[in-house]
Every structure is written in structure tokens, then in C-alpha cells.
């Protein structure tokens, strides 16, 4: 087992204050490791970074096409959105179109991260609902698939046909059995995988021609949807949205809780997976941005990259008191 590598550092003035260690790996569609930092065999919860693989059964089964789901719906199925109107209106319409309501969701209520939406709820005296949950698009996808597969209303149960299909897709795409699961923040199972296996799955989505027609078409549709609608997969100013938009089809990236990131590089047939051990989002954003520079997806000077590989940390008076800096060797 290889020790964790330093992926990012916190500097306060001229002094090193903190170190963020973790693991990162770049893998090609054959499963071969192209480059690695730390231990690519580390087993992780991929959290929300794996949503595009969780969405594969919805599309490859033909259910998405039969229920009239378009690219916006597929992007939302892969999203960790901020609960803005552009997200919640679309999820509500999706549920209505398939004869379901917010009450059918099992993700739980969440205060939206979107400031206007949060203020509007407060002004109207309304409590946040499940539709505002950042995973409501994923759950709308689960519900839609569940209608076709049957198995009852509790689609988040691990033995439900929906979750059996999700687990099978993850195991087939990673090339290994899932070594257990945990319950995610949205109450759905999150199946564990090695970092290398996760990156392999993402690389296979980047090179879908080898997946067979149904799965290959599904992978291509999901990646294209995320690339076409980056505003739906997260929110304005957020890392997944900004960098995916800036990459203009060269990369689709997706954050996950506790310092996880995944990236799909369609032009290169590569997948990237990383995990920051202490779970710090500021460090995972710095690391993924640096690795995209390394692979020449974006230049280090691009605004979406620059503010993350050298991220100012302002205090309450707006003074830049510290910086989170990606390790230079990640950028090459």
C-alpha cells in the first residue's frame, strides 16, 4: 500500500499551515493506470461523483427514451444541484410528466444552496422540500426506472430492482465486485469501489464504443448531456459547472462529498478519480483543476482553473489571509 500524497496545501502568508493528503489516479479505457499519486487501490465511497454511472440503467434500459426524457433530464439525473429554480422547476415537471409527485421522493428535504431560492422560501414562509434536495434529479431517475422495473415504492432499498441494477452497472463498469456500501446523504446506497476501478469506469464512459450498443449509447448520451448543460449539474459559480462549461466538451467533471472528484475526458479516452483524505472540498477542487491542466484540457491561467489551483481564502473583512494551493507536481 502506498502512502497518501500531498495534493494541496494551505499557506497563511509565508507559512505553511495545513496539508491536504489524498489519492488520485488517471486511467485509460483498458483499465491501465496512466499516472497515480498515493494509492490507486484505495477503496472509497465515490459519493455523488458516481451519479453518471448510477444513471446508466435508466438510459440503457430504454426507459429514458420511452418516458420522453431529454438531455436536460439526463443532466439532472447526474446532478448535485443547488436547488435553484432552473433545477427544481425541471425536476417537478419531470415527476409530473411520469405521474409522480414530490411525495414519492425518498431523498429528504434540503435547504437550497442557491441564495435567491433560499431567500424566496423564507420570504414566502415555506420550508424546503425534497425537490430542493441536491439529489432530487438522481432520485427522479430512480423513480422513473422503478416504475418500469417494479419492486415497490422504496426504491432506495439495496435489494430493490433499481438498486440491484445500479450495483450491477457499477460492478460491470469498474470491473470488480463492490466491497460493501453505505447510506449516502440522500438515503440511497453508495456502493464502494477502488479509486482505480472508479477511474476505469469513467474512462469507459469516455470511450463508449467498446461498451456495446445499448450501454455505449447510454454513456455517450449522459456525458453529452452533462457537457451541454453544465448549469444543471451543479450551479452558477460551482466547480463542476464552471470547469465543465470551460472545457467545452473536452472534459466533464463531477464532485462528490468528502473530497471526491471524478472526470471524464472524451477526447482522450481517460478517466480521473481522486479522494482527499480529510474530505476538504477546497483541496479536491484544487487537485482536479491541477490534473486537468496536466492533461492540457485547460490552461492554468483560465479563470475557472486559476482561482482553484491558487484559491484565495478571505477573512470576514474581505482580506485575503491565506491561500489553498495545488501541489505544483500535479500540473506537470
**Whether residue 135 has pLDDT greater than 80:** yes
Fold of 5-331: Beta-lactamase (3.40.710)
**In b/e form, how buried is each residue of 176-208, taking b as 16+ CB within 10 angstroms?**
bebeebeebbbbbbbbbbbbbbbbbbbbbbbbb
**Whether residue 1 has pLDDT greater than 80:** no
Q: Are 262 and 49 in contact (CB under 8 A)?
A: yes
> The C-alpha cell of 209 is what?
464504443
pLDDT per position as a tens digit, 5-50 = 999 999 999 999 999 999 999 999 999 999 999 999 999 999 999 9
Residue with cell 493506470: 33
What does the pLDDT read at residue 102?
Answer: 97
Q: What is the mean pLDDT of the chain?
A: 97
Label residue 2 by pLDDT band (50, 70, 90): confident
What does the pLDDT read at residue 53?
Answer: 98
What one-character-per-residue DSSP string does 61-93 give?
Answer: TSHHHHTT--HHHHHHHT------HHHHHHHHH
Q: What is the C-alpha separation between 117 and 132, in angstroms, rounded? A: 9
Amino acid at each position: 500500500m502506498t502512502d497518501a500524497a500531498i495534493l494541496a496545501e494551505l499557506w497563511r502568508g509565508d507559512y505553511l499551515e495545513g496539508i491536504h493528503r489524498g489519492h488520485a489516479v488517471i486511467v485509460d479505457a483498458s483499465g491501465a493506470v496512466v499516472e497515480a499519486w498515493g494509492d490507486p487501490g484505495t477503496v472509497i465511497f465515490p459519493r455523488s461523483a458516481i451519479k453518471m454511472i448510477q444513471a446508466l440503467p435508466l438510459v440503457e434500459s430504454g426507459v429514458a427514451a420511452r418516458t420522453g426524457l431529454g438531455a436536460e433530464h439526463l443532466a439532472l439525473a447526474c446532478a448535485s444541484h443547488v436547488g435553484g429554480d432552473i433545477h427544481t422547476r425541471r425536476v417537478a415537471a419531470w415527476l409530473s410528466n411520469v405521474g409522480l409527485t414530490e411525495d414519492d421522493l425518498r431523498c429528504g428535504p434540503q435547504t437550497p444552496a442557491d441564495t435567491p431560492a433560499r431567500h424566496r422560501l423564507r420570504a414566502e414562509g415555506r420550508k424546503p422540500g425534497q425537490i430542493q434536495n441536491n439529489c432530487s434529479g438522481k432520485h427522479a431517475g430512480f423513480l422513473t426506472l422503478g416504475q418500469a422495473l417494479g419492486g415497490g415504492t422504496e426504491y432506495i432499498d439495496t435489494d430493490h430492482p433499481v438498486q440491484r441494477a445500479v450495483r450491477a452497472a457499477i460492478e460491470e463498469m469498474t470491473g470488480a465486485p463492490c466491497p460493501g456500501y453505505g447510506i449516502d446523504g440522500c438515503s440511497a446506497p453508495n456502493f464502494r469501489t477502488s479509486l482505480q476501478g472508479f477511474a476505469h469506469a469513467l474512462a469507459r464512459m469516455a470511450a463508449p464504443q467498446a461498451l456495446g450498443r445499448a450501454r455505449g449509447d447510454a454513456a455517450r448520451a449522459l456525458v453529452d448531456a452533462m457537457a451541454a448543460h453544465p448549469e444543471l449539474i451543479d450551479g452558477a459559480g460551482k466547480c463542476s459547472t464552471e470547469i465543465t462549461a470551460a472545457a467545452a466538451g473536452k472534459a466533464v467533471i463531477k464532485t462528490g462529498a468528502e473530497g471526491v472528484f471524478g472526470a471524464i475526458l472524451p477526447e482522450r479516452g481517460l478517466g480521473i478519480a481522486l479522494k482527499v483524505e480529510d474530505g476538504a472540498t477546497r483541496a479536491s477542487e484544487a487537485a482536479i483543476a491541477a490534473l486537468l491542466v496536466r492533461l492540457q484540457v485547460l490552461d492554468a491561467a483560465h479563470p475557472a482553473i486559476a482561482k482553484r489551483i491558487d484559491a484565495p481564502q478571505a477573512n470576514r473583512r474581505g482580506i485575503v489571509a491565506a491561500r489553498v494551493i495545488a501541489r505544483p507536481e500535479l500540473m506537470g
